[in-house]
Structure 1
């Protein structure tokens, strides 16, 4: 795969992953906000972090799968392993917040 095609593939993966991950996270964060578990600001922050992490993981998976030049199923397996690994690293280093950071009192939600 040429470098230009690989960059375009990774970029498309990043955008698709960020949009899908952000949409899923936004739905969860909205529910948590309505249930009084997070503030509006924390919900927005969590959504952005999730979108970024999912986009990065998808881009990495697409780049690795494209670079290896494997068949369909092997590429899918490589994509899945790399994407899951990147998302795990992202969540363990960036996205997690403590219970105290993520939870607020009902009266503090304005």
Structure 2
């Protein structure tokens, strides 16, 4: 395994720790949308780690894809799903920040 591969694994592990810390902080401050944001990002990070392993497993074992799509389309679909998960998380965060801002604006 190369140095870049080791650094990639270390960074992914560090990101999971940071996301878990953010999740705990949002839970402590009762920021519901922030909790959803960090949960979705945590799922996204885990999915980003396991999806390439699954794609390699399917490709190397010559498994037949039941949907009739090619391996390239399957890989692209996996990337698209990750991007959709990321967009959903960001939408939750924006909605939560907007609600917090409106509460702060009303109280002043």
Is TM more than 0.5 here?
no
Give the TM-score normalised by the residue count of structure 2.
0.43
Larger Rg, first or second structure (1 or 2): 2
Give the TM-score normalised by the residue count of structure 1.
0.43
